[in-house]
Amino acid sequence: MKATNGKSKRNGSARDTQAALRALRRAARKVHAENRRLGMPVIIWKKGKTVAVPT
């Protein structure tokens, strides 16, 4: 549904987005730290391809 003032009717959607981004960043930090401990590369997406980056 569209609100009459042009804004979304769902309150807190920006807050939800920020919380999701924080959770994603936290998960990425955990993966990077775990891979570093195990001596494994981090797999990233770069220029349309997957790349293993040594830690």
Residue 1: inside a domain:
no
Give residue 29's domain range.
13-53
Residue 3: inside a domain:
no
Domain count across the chain? 1
Looking at residue 45, its amino acid is W
Residue 25: inside a domain:
yes
Residue 39: inside a domain:
yes
Contact 4, 13 (CB under 8 A): no
Residue 43: inside a domain:
yes
Phi, psi for residue 49 in degrees, rounded to 5 = -135, 155
Q: What is the pLDDT along the chain (55 residues), one digit of tens a residue?
A: 555 565 555 667 999 999 999 999 999 999 999 999 999 999 999 999 999 999 7
